[in-house]
């Protein structure tokens, strides 16, 4: 419902007192002439007097139903100028907004109170009202025709077709990758079955060459170097003499070798290598590069000194696997 505030247009004084007020000329206006509730309006007051320091302007915002019809929301800077008769003129602008939400179509008019202090200490006052303005409701003009409907039930939004296409492509890529991975594993398994097994001494020498080629010592990975070399030698001796060498301590391994036909020099080199490896792995002994190379050479000497005892490989025998880390890999059948 539109709200109208019809204010008596005036620039004259509603009430005035004292002859001294005749020296003060005041007027008030409001812009714009039309708006809606909560819109900003400019209440402009013009005051001209010989001495503006004696003039005070106060906005009067009417009250309706115990609530303010207009609210003061700001004030702009004063603008002073000189009139033709030598008086000082001041433009004062108040920013106001209507916030009435009652049922009345009429709003209390905004006004200003002009107070002038006389030389004798008395004061005169005058109340000025603004022109008529029209304040409309925030509702649309055709609100009588608007029908309020109940809340509609949830609507299921259709899934775009591209979502299915993307899902199908991603699923196809995953299935194809899985198929390629399985095919690669099958090929490696078939190649392992068809190809003849590698001789034990050949595998051991190649593994020692691999450890040396990774340059672990130069990378300060001495502990890993000794673990790889000692595990390679353990696997080799365990397979050569048919016992589980990875689960034995160094002392137990040496005791077990006494029951085999391992040559004395090979047994001594094995003992030296395992003792040095235990110091590095468990006593935090930092071996120098020369000691590491000597340990690698001891392992090669053990393999070279016992390879004549290796039986000819059979098709059923499994090829020993490379040692990846200390105690992590066992050759065919060893845990």
Per the structure, the count of domains in the chain is: 2
Q: Is the dihedral of CA 251, 269, 237, 205 positive or negative?
A: positive
Judge whether residue 194 has pLDDT over 60: no
Task: Report residue 245 as tokens.
Answer: 């060498």
* SS3 at position 81: strand
- Taking the CB of residue 111, how many other CB atoms lie within 10 A of it? 20
Could you tell me the residue range of the domain that residue 204 belongs to? 195-309
Are 133 and 206 in the same domain? no
Q: What is the pLDDT of residues 122-173, one digit of tens each?
A: 777 777 777 767 777 777 666 666 676 778 888 888 888 898 899 999 999 9
Q: What is the pLDDT of residue 180?
A: 92
For the chain, the average pLDDT equals 76
Q: What is the pLDDT of residues 45-99, one digit of tens each?
A: 887 777 777 777 877 775 544 455 777 888 888 887 877 777 778 888 888 887 7
- Structure confidence at residue 335 as a pLDDT band (50, 70, 90): very low
Asked if residue 137 lies in contact with residue 104, where contact means CB atoms within 8 angstroms, the answer is: no
Q: Of the residues 138, 161, 184, which one is the last residue of a structural domain? A: 138
Give, in order, the Cα–Cα distances in Å from 257 to each of 22, 223, 242, 250, 264. 130, 25, 11, 11, 10
Considering 105-109, 130-134, 212-216, 321-325, the range whose residues carry the highest mean pLDDT is: 212-216
Are 134 and 42 in the same domain? yes
Task: Report residue 203 as tokens.
Answer: 């595998």
Question: What sections of 106-198 are H helices per DSSP?
Answer: 161-194
Are 89 and 11 in the same domain? yes
* SS3 at position 93: strand
Q: What is the pLDDT of residue 328?
A: 38
Are 285 and 202 in the same domain? yes
Q: What is the pLDDT of residue 105?
A: 45
Are 128 and 210 in the same domain? no
Are 46 and 121 in the same domain? yes
Are 134 and 8 in the same domain? yes
| Residue 8 maps to a domain | yes
With a CB cutoff of 8 Å and minimum separation 6, the contacts of 62 are: 68, 69, 70, 107, 108, 109, 110, 111
Q: Residue 112: which of 124, 121, 125 has the closest Cα?
A: 125
Are 21 and 100 in the same domain? yes
| Residue 182 maps to a domain | no
């Amino acid at each position: 419902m539109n709200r109208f505030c019809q204010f008596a247009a005036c620039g004259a004084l509603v009430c005035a007192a004292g002859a001294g007020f005749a020296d003060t000329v005041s007027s008030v206006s409001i812009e714009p002439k039309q708006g809606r509730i909560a819109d900003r309006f400019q209440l402009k007051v013009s005051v001209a007097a010989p001495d503006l320091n004696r003039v005070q302007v106060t906005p009067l915002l009417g009250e309706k139903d115990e609530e303010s019809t207009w609210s003061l929301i700001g004030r702009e800077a004063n603008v002073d100028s000189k009139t033709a008769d030598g008086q000082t003129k001041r433009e004062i602008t108040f920013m106001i907004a209507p916030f009435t939400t009652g049922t009345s179509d009429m709003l209390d008019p905004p006004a200003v109170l002009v107070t002038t202090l006389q030389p004798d200490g008395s004061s005169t006052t005058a109340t000025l009202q603004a022109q008529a303005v029209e304040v409309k409701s925030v509702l649309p003009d055709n609100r009588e025709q608007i029908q309020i409907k109940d809340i509609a039930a949830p609507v299921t939004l259709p899934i775009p077709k591209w979502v299915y296409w993307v899902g199908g492509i991603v699923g196809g890529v995953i299935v194809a990758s899985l198929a390629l991975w399985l095919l690669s594993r099958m090929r490696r398994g078939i190649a392992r079955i068809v190809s003849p097994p590698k001789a034990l001494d050949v595998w051991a020498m190649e593994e020692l060459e691999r450890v040396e080629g990774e340059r672990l010592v130069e990378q300060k990975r001495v502990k890993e170097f000794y673990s790889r070399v000692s595990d390679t030698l353990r696997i080799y001796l365990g397979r050569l003499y048919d016992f589980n060498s990875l689960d034995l301590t160094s002392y137990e391994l040496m005791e077990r070798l006494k029951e085999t036909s391992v040559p004395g020099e090979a047994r001594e080199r094995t003992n030296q290598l395992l003792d040095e490896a235990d110091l590095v792995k468990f006593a935090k002994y930092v071996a120098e590069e020369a000691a590491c190379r000597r340990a690698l050479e001891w392992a090669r000497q053990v393999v070279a000194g016992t390879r004549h005892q290796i039986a000819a490989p059979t098709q059923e025998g499994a090829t020993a696997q490379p040692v990846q880390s200390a105690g992590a890999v066992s050759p065919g059948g060893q845990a």
